[in-house]
Structure 1
Amino acid sequence: MSKAEIILKCLLDNLDEGIHIVDNRGKTIYYNKAMGMVEGLIPSEVIGKRAIELLKGVEEDSSTLMNALKKGEKYIDVIQQYSSNIGKNITAINTTIPVIASEEVIAAIEISKDRTQLRELNEKICRLQGINNIKGRFYTFKDIIGSSEKIRTAITKAMKASLTNSSVLIYGETGCGKELFAQSIHYNGLRKDKAFIDINCAAIPSNLLESMLFGTVKGSFTGAENKRGLFEEAKGGTILLDEINSMDTTLQSKLLRVLQEGYIRPIGSNVLVDIDIRIIATLNEAPEKLIKEGKLRKDFYYRLGVIRIDIPPLRERPQDINELTAQFISFYNKLLGKNIAGIHEEVLDIFLKYSWPGNIRELKNTIEASMNMIDDGPYITREYVEQRLARNFISNGNYTAGMEEFPIEQYLENLEKKIINEALNRYGNNISKTSAYLKISRQNLQYKIKKYNLL
């Protein structure tokens, strides 16, 4: 084996994606460890076997690897649900590429991203949401705390929106309470007795999200069954599309058609299905910025934002901090069995000066953390909140009056940690893609991940 071949094998063996390569007869000539993890097979036992032998119940004409060999066609990001020959059920997003030399297909390569656990988790969440629609805890407008003019304006607009069937777009920074507003609109509205299903668009790949929303028919892709999508399951109810800016523009275009025409076409079907749902969508970045960056279609934004509600960040409603703090202290007194009367005046002064990058969620977590540490005493004092807020202050780079100054080395380390963490989230913790994006080696990235305890 040449040095180039050794280097290439080392690279393929250490990729996070599964790699399966077959020759022109369909026999496996390479199968990496990641692919073995996806299909539950041992790589050394797969070499020499035809791709079809490794699968259960998959015909040759429905195998993307075999079709790539026969037709010389490339298949990009195809959702496949199938079973390996040991009975492991798999959901994967696969890209299959024919290798062509002198106008002849000499091999085919399949790159596989395992989505089995994600599919199972999302199906479980959907089942639980169906139960919660009947028995679970949900939020209404009375749960939204605050008397400032900005929050009252948002509540008034949301209450009016709840009495219509128009689509709603809610914009607010992370931790502002967008889902609380969305649930309040649903449970105060015309559809309150129907399903409310929330989908986190940032957590689900677009191809998988499309099949979840629209449904599938048997044979539309490997392993596909007749399955109703969430648009049909939520008949008469509301679907919350959370962080819709994470959805790719192709799917945005398909959803735009759904909003305009009121019907869907399940994947692989020629039949149109009428639907009756209301869509509420949320954004954690300004839509004008997203449109400019090409992450949000302008026509999709206008169709979604028939009613747009902007939730103010906590730093713009400081007069609500005392009321919110009292509410959280009361909640955690019951939960933790404590008897804290409130916060010290010094703490209130810190709270009013702090910029709250994590908004209400950060305030709530700060109260919870402080109350867990208090052994005795009627008030939350400065010592319990200052260290936590100082740590958040550095990691978010928010220069706020009243906070301590920190060594430049510590600031730079926290800034580096934040950049790496955001990149990892962006690429789904994929080491290869993250290191390429950051323009550092995989080894250096792995060292920094370990150093900052990021995974």
Structure 2
Amino acid sequence: MDQNYEIYETVLDSIDIGVHVIDSNGKTIIYNKKMSEIEGMKIEDVIEKRLQEVFSFHQNGESTLLKVLQHKKKITNIRQSYFNNKGQEITTINNSYPIMKGETLIGAMEIARDVTKIEKLLQDHIFNKGEAKITFESLIGSDKAFTDVIESSKRATRTNSTILIIGETGTGKELFAQSIHQGSIRASRPLITQNCAAIPETLMEAILFGTRKGAFTGAVERPGLFEQAEGGTLLLDEINSLDLSLQAKLLRVIQEKKVRRIGDTKDRPVDVRIIATINEDPIDAITNGRMRKDLFYRLSVVSLFIPPLRERKGDIPELIQFFIQKYNHLFGMNITGIDKALLDHFLEYDWPGNVRELEHLIEGAMNLVHEEQMLTVSHLPNHIRYKPPFRKDAVTYSADLNTLQKGITLEQFLHDAERSFLKRALAQHNGNISQTAKTLGMSRQNLQYRLRKIKSGS
């Protein structure tokens, strides 16, 4: 019997997971070494003592072990925060089970994983909204094209030059802008962000430049974003959504470093660094009348091109783990990763929504988890699960011996291959030319030209 006890004790103390067992009266009868490490307590401080004598909980908080004891039902993947006998806060993800002998409840067992350090890290760097400070260390990825942009961004922190960040929707342009601000000498001053597509044109001028009382009905004395960002950084998101006449006024303010409120006659000097973002090729925006050429040249003193996720797929596993960790924290779950089939699906998928789409898919998948520890293809929404992966090399056109015997010229072969390729690419994006062009890495104008050329047969 003593030998069996030694074996049992050795096994419990060797596993890398906390185990805590109480009897039907709430007194601890098993408390392994890992659990004592997680909770920062000695085993003798806990063993043979009632839970309420040792641990305390937040207001309205409740021990999952005692809850299982009360209701005789298991509780899985529950996040619990509580305090040890030194007043230190502990955060764990728990699986708790009733222990029955026949129909009689004789105790409860808890298996716990420590997330205290992860919790603090996430609170400090991600979830402390309003005070969150995104830095270059927050940017996830080791792909060379991505790290090259990070290095260029770090160098740009040394000056006050205007910056234009170019990248598709969802690539993380705002994260780069915040990192640049936090790495600059302006970090202690305001970072003001405005999405130019979110405000009606009639209001945007007043928001940017401010108003003088009585300038129009209901106008009050109010500083605009330039004045609010004094000494700091003004981030103008989706600058190509700004009305062209307003772009001209914006250019004047940037060049003269002075702003005039609507209805005022006085120019006010401003010291603000401008960072702008654009979600399309600037040349396309200029060609199609969505951006002034002179404003583009003024903003693009430093130009940063953020690569889309489809061009840095090697970063997908690291991003997946980051988002799983993030939503484990938010949802009180303990998902450990994704299975190989889902990873293969993600690596083949083309990610039109980029990193933002990946995050949303992980969040959605974790909402569909029951008691699983791994995410699988079954947790994806149907429109993604049953959508065939699209890759640029997915369309092949076989020039076999029969084709050659028919006397098809190289020019005709290439024409037919291009037509087949573009037809399938368009079908993949339900005929959306803009999205197809982005996927193929070309401008909308170029794609339309090729489609017209193919249609005419020339």
Please state which band the TM-score falls in when normalised by the shorter chain.
Answer: 0.5 to 0.7
Supply the distance in 2 between the matched residues of 1:150 and 1:340 (Cα, whole angstroms).
30
Supply the distance in 2 between the matched residues of 1:284 and 1:221 (Cα, whole angstroms).
34
| Partner residue, 2:244 | 249
Look up the equivalent residue of 1:340 and give its one-letter code.
Answer: I
Q: Does the aligned pair in 2 maintain the 1:265–1:271 contact within 8 Å?
A: yes
Supply the distance in 2 between the matched residues of 1:284 and 1:171 (Cα, whole angstroms).
6
| Partner residue, 2:192 | 197
| Partner residue, 1:328 | 323
Look up the equivalent residue of 1:251 and give its one-letter code.
Answer: L
Look up the equivalent residue of 1:322 and give its one-letter code.
Answer: P
| Partner residue, 1:17 | none
Cα gap change, 1:196/1:368 in structure 2, threshold over 3 Å: closer, same or farther?
Answer: same
Query: Is it true that 1:185 corresponds to 2:196 in the alignment?
Result: no
Cα gap change, 1:133/1:236 in structure 2, threshold over 3 Å: closer, same or farther?
Answer: farther
Cα gap change, 1:133/1:387 in structure 2, threshold over 3 Å: closer, same or farther?
Answer: closer
Q: Does the aligned pair in 1 maintain the 2:348–2:390 contact within 8 Å?
A: no
| Partner residue, 2:282 | 287
Cα gap change, 1:176/1:134 in structure 2, threshold over 3 Å: closer, same or farther?
Answer: closer
| Partner residue, 1:169 | 164
Supply the distance in 2 between the matched residues of 1:334 and 1:275 (Cα, whole angstroms).
42
| Partner residue, 2:39 | none
Match of 1:148 among 143, 151, 157: 143
Supply the distance in 1 between the matched residues of 2:392 and 2:144 (Cα, whole angstroms).
24
Deviation at 1:398, TM superposition (A): 6.1
Deviation at 1:185, TM superposition (A): 0.6
Deviation at 1:390, TM superposition (A): 4.2
Look up the equivalent residue of 2:255 and give its one-letter code.
Answer: Q
Supply the distance in 1 between the matched residues of 2:277 and 2:352 (Cα, whole angstroms).
18
Deviation digits for residues 25-67 of structure 1, max 9, x if unmatched? xxxxxxxxxxxxxxxxxxxxxxxxxxxxxxxxxxxxxxxxxxx
Say which SS state the counterpart of residue 197 (structure 2) adopts.
helix
Say which SS state the counterpart of residue 281 (structure 1) adopts.
strand
Which segment drifts farther, 283-292 or 135-144? 135-144
Cα gap change, 1:266/1:386 in structure 2, threshold over 3 Å: closer, same or farther?
Answer: closer
Unaligned runs of 5+ in 2: 1-126, 395-425, 434-458
Cα gap change, 1:191/1:272 in structure 2, threshold over 3 Å: closer, same or farther?
Answer: same
**How high is the TM-score relative to the length of structure 1?**
0.57
| Partner residue, 1:136 | 131
Deviation at 1:387, TM superposition (A): 2.5
Q: Does the aligned pair in 1 maintain the 2:348–2:391 contact within 8 Å?
A: no
Supply the distance in 2 between the matched residues of 1:248 and 1:386 (Cα, whole angstroms).
37
Query: Is it true that 1:224 corresponds to 2:198 in the alignment?
Result: no
Deviation at 1:189, TM superposition (A): 0.7
Q: Does the aligned pair in 2 maintain the 1:354–1:400 contact within 8 Å?
A: no
Supply the distance in 2 between the matched residues of 1:148 and 1:400 (Cα, whole angstroms).
19
Say which SS state the counterpart of residue 165 (structure 2) adopts.
strand
**How high is the TM-score relative to the length of structure 2?**
0.57
| Partner residue, 1:209 | 204
Higher percent of residues as helix: 1
Deviation at 1:215, TM superposition (A): 1.1
Say which SS state the counterpart of residue 202 (structure 1) adopts.
coil
Supply the distance in 2 between the matched residues of 1:297 and 1:342 (Cα, whole angstroms).
46
Query: Is it true that 1:235 corresponds to 2:199 in the alignment?
Result: no
Supply the distance in 1 between the matched residues of 2:202 and 2:344 (Cα, whole angstroms).
48
Look up the equivalent residue of 1:379 and give its one-letter code.
Answer: M
Look up the equivalent residue of 2:208 and give its one-letter code.
Answer: L
Deviation at 1:298, TM superposition (A): 0.7
Identity of aligned residues (%): 48
Say which SS state the counterpart of residue 203 (structure 1) adopts.
coil
Q: Does the aligned pair in 2 maintain the 1:133–1:195 contact within 8 Å?
A: no
Cα gap change, 1:267/1:140 in structure 2, threshold over 3 Å: closer, same or farther?
Answer: same
Cα RMSD (Å) of the superposition? 2.8
Which segment drifts farther, 378-387 or 266-275? 378-387
Deviation at 1:378, TM superposition (A): 2.6
Q: Does the aligned pair in 2 maintain the 1:249–1:296 contact within 8 Å?
A: yes
Deviation at 1:254, TM superposition (A): 0.6
Cα gap change, 1:298/1:145 in structure 2, threshold over 3 Å: closer, same or farther?
Answer: same
Match of 2:261 among 258, 263, 266: 266
Supply the distance in 2 between the matched residues of 1:398 and 1:390 (Cα, whole angstroms).
13
Supply the distance in 2 between the matched residues of 1:386 and 1:273 (Cα, whole angstroms).
53
| Partner residue, 2:377 | 382
Say which SS state the counterpart of residue 308 (structure 1) adopts.
strand
Deviation at 1:388, TM superposition (A): 4.5
Look up the equivalent residue of 1:329 and give its one-letter code.
Answer: I
Match of 2:306 among 304, 311, 314: 311
Q: Does the aligned pair in 2 maintain the 1:133–1:196 contact within 8 Å?
A: no
The structure number with the bigger radius of gyration is: 2
Look up the equivalent residue of 2:139 and give its one-letter code.
Answer: I
Look up the equivalent residue of 1:327 and give its one-letter code.
Answer: F
Say which SS state the counterpart of residue 380 (structure 2) adopts.
helix
| Partner residue, 1:11 | none
Deviation at 1:138, TM superposition (A): 2.5
Cα gap change, 1:272/1:133 in structure 2, threshold over 3 Å: closer, same or farther?
Answer: farther
Supply the distance in 2 between the matched residues of 1:200 and 1:250 (Cα, whole angstroms).
17
Deviation at 1:133, TM superposition (A): 12
Deviation at 1:276, TM superposition (A): 0.6
Match of 1:349 among 339, 344, 367: 344
Deviation at 1:372, TM superposition (A): 1.6
Query: Is it true that 1:301 corresponds to 2:284 in the alignment?
Result: no
Cα gap change, 1:401/1:368 in structure 2, threshold over 3 Å: closer, same or farther?
Answer: farther
Unaligned runs of 5+ in 1: 1-131, 403-410, 420-455
Deviation at 1:381, TM superposition (A): 1.4
Structure 1 segments, 4+ long, off by >4 Å, are 132-135, 397-402
Deviation at 1:212, TM superposition (A): 1.1
Q: Does the aligned pair in 1 maintain the 2:192–2:228 contact within 8 Å?
A: no
